Amino acid sequence: MTQITSPHNHKLKEIRKLRMRRRARERAGRFVAEGEDLLAAADAAGWQPLERFCVEGSGLAGLEVDAKLLASASGLGSGTRTLAVYEERWAERAAGPLCVYLHGVHDPGNVGAVMRAAAAFGASSVALGPASADPFSPKAVRASMGAVFSVPVVREGDLRALPGTKIALTTVATAPLAGLWRFTKEADHPPVTLVVGSEREGLPREVVDRADGAVRIPIQTDSLNAAMAATIALYEVTRMAPAR
Amino acid sequence: MTQITSPHNHKLKEIRKLRMRRRARERAGRFVAEGEDLLAAADAAGWQPLERFCVEGSGLAGLEVDAKLLASASGLGSGTRTLAVYEERWAERAAGPLCVYLHGVHDPGNVGAVMRAAAAFGASSVALGPASADPFSPKAVRASMGAVFSVPVVREGDLRALPGTKIALTTVATAPLAGLWRFTKEADHPPVTLVVGSEREGLPREVVDRADGAVRIPIQTDSLNAAMAATIALYEVTRMAPAR
């Protein structure tokens, strides 16, 4: 039985707001995930949705919604079969032994991709510094491929509060310089925090200065994006210690 | 002086077609790049546009177009300042010593990101096998960050035609198994082709079988995307030979 048929339904309105506006998410402390894969990832990680919706006649779990209405509330449009609202979870502090800290990474797709890489390589947490995108935005949640439900995220403005040795990755490489050797040596002594800046601006001077070390990924072009840089660094530190 | 003011202008119509339809690009052998950064990358790589357009009054090079019309022809919408049409360039064969071969990578954003990583790590070519996305599609061109103008691309259905030792990367890792050690040893003897499949399906059995070796990237989740897998592999093979 279709349970939601009105475009003015307040639950659908809330979904639209949570999807579109960071402030609405922050105020409510809630976010939306869409699609069967993401909802399955949430289930697998033990997250209970506050409310779950599905398209009429799909046989999926949740409140049945008229297909057009569900599509209009969704960021994916027609073809949306299910979505759910969750409570945001922010960790109290950035956990070690392996943390990724993002400074000024504005692009939510990049933040999501970093979370995905963090999950893939078994990082303990992702810390979000000033001017970083919201990890609970729809684009970040989608790009995370469900990692938002498994990797603890924390807001942290203070580099000193992050675990262990802080290693700044400069994504803008001016020369193909293999500084990663030193880096892996330091990373042999966890905890380690990988400090990653945005693609355009890189890390501000003062952040690099406050880190314990800085390395360049040896590339021949101007830059990698934050997610690629983080992926390589996560690979490099875990490569040496696969059992971490 | 604004030189294009009609929405029916045939040049703008061609741009729209080239942007939206793969078949139109293939028939014309042309594609569109948008934005000052991409056009600068093309200039730097010595690519002459067939035609260049800019928004009226911008002082940029090219035919001046009414702002709304340029926005309507563009995939970026309002704010578009410049775009240009180029002739596609397909290499005759996949060059070594370091080639990346994509098999069934449908997503143009992923194909573009692989090209970007290939440029960053100095790969010689990117080969596109069956069912791979068009590297000249707008999404791929944008994700390549200009690498489409510097890395030779080739269509290649036959694994045997690719250079050197073929190493299949399985992006779907069932266990955190560090097969990359053997891989780097093999990669010490270029030429090498890195064989990458799609995120969902991975590489078909017969492609893995026809490769000279197969490795798993040691991850703890189900999968990485093709671009991340290729980035790690490119980093791993060039790490050992930074002067390649």
pLDDT(B152) > 80: yes
pLDDT(B174) > 60: no
Same fold flag, B10-87 and B98-239: no
Q: Of 3.40.50.970, 3.40.50.2000, 3.90.660.10, 3.30.1330.30, which CATH number belongs to A10-87?
A: 3.30.1330.30
**Percent of chain B topping pLDDT 70:** 90
> Amino acid identity of A30?
R
Lowest mean pLDDT among A56-60, B123-127, B233-237: B233-237
Residue A182 confidence (pLDDT): 53
ipTM over 0.90: no
Domain locations in chain A as residue ranges: 10-87, 98-239
- Which of A186, A196, A205, A184 is CA-nearest to residue A101? A196
pLDDT(B182) > 70: no
Residue B237 confidence (pLDDT): 81
Return the structure tokens found at B128: 């596109």
pLDDT-derived band at B224 (thresholds 50, 70, 90) equals: confident
Report the C-alpha dihedral over residues B1, B5, B10, B14, rounded to 10 degrees.
Answer: 90
Q: Are B100 and B127 in contact (CB under 8 A)?
A: yes
Residue A95 confidence (pLDDT): 93
pLDDT(B159) > 70: yes
Residue B186 confidence (pLDDT): 54
Q: How far is A166 from chain B (nearest CA, A)?
A: 22
Q: How far is B243 from chain A (nearest CA, A)?
A: 9
Residue B2 confidence (pLDDT): 78
pLDDT(B179) > 60: no
- Which of B52, B109, B103 is CA-nearest to residue B81? B52
Q: How far is B1 from chain A (nearest CA, A)?
A: 33
Lowest mean pLDDT among A125-139, B165-179, B181-195, B215-229: B165-179
- For B126, what's the count of Cα atoms within 13 Å in the CB-facing half-sphere? 37
Lowest mean pLDDT among B138-152, B169-183, B224-238: B169-183
Mean pLDDT of chain B: 88
pLDDT-derived band at B76 (thresholds 50, 70, 90) equals: confident
Lowest mean pLDDT among A28-32, A145-149, B15-19, B216-220: B216-220
Using alpha carbons, list the distances in angstroms from residue A46 to A119, A143, A149, B197, B233.
16, 20, 8, 31, 33
- DSSP tag of A149: G
Residue B240 confidence (pLDDT): 60
pLDDT-derived band at B221 (thresholds 50, 70, 90) equals: confident
Q: Mind listing the pLDDT tens digit for each residue in A94-149?
A: 999 999 999 999 999 999 999 999 999 999 999 999 899 999 999 999 999 999 99
Q: How far is B10 from chain A (nearest CA, A)?
A: 32
**Better-predicted residue by pLDDT, A32 or B157:** A32
**The most confident of B20-24, B165-169, B190-194, by mean pLDDT:** B20-24
- Cβ contact A120–B220 (<8 Å): yes
Q: Which residues pair with B33 in a beta bridge?
A: B84
Peptide bond into A191 cis (omega under 30): yes
Helix ranges restricted to H, chain A: 10-20, 22-28, 36-44, 67-73, 108-120, 138-143, 180-187, 205-210, 226-239
Residue B185 confidence (pLDDT): 56
A228 to chain B: nearest residue by CA? B228
Among B116, B145, B221, which would you mutate to test the A interface (most chain A Cβ atoms within 10 Å of its Cβ)? B221
Among B151, B231, B234, B238, which would you mutate to test the A interface (most chain A Cβ atoms within 10 Å of its Cβ)? B231
Partners of B147 on chain A (C-beta within 8 Å) are: 221
- Which of B230, B192, B189 is CA-nearest to residue B211? B192
pLDDT-derived band at B187 (thresholds 50, 70, 90) equals: low
Distance CA A100, CA A128 (A): 9
Among A224, A236, A240, which would you mutate to test the B interface (most chain B Cβ atoms within 10 Å of its Cβ)? A224
Residue B235 confidence (pLDDT): 86
Residue A165 confidence (pLDDT): 87
Residue A183 confidence (pLDDT): 53
- Cβ contact A221–B147 (<8 Å): yes
Q: For B177-199, what is the mean pLDDT?
A: 67
The third-level CATH classification (topology) of the domain covering A98-239 is Alpha/beta knot (3.40.1280)
- Cβ contact A235–B235 (<8 Å): yes
Measured in whole angstroms, how far is the alpha carbon of residue A147 from the centre of its chain?
Answer: 7
Residues in chain A predicted with pLDDT less than 70, given as ranges, are 171-189, 240-244
Q: Are A38 and A143 in contact (CB under 8 A)?
A: no
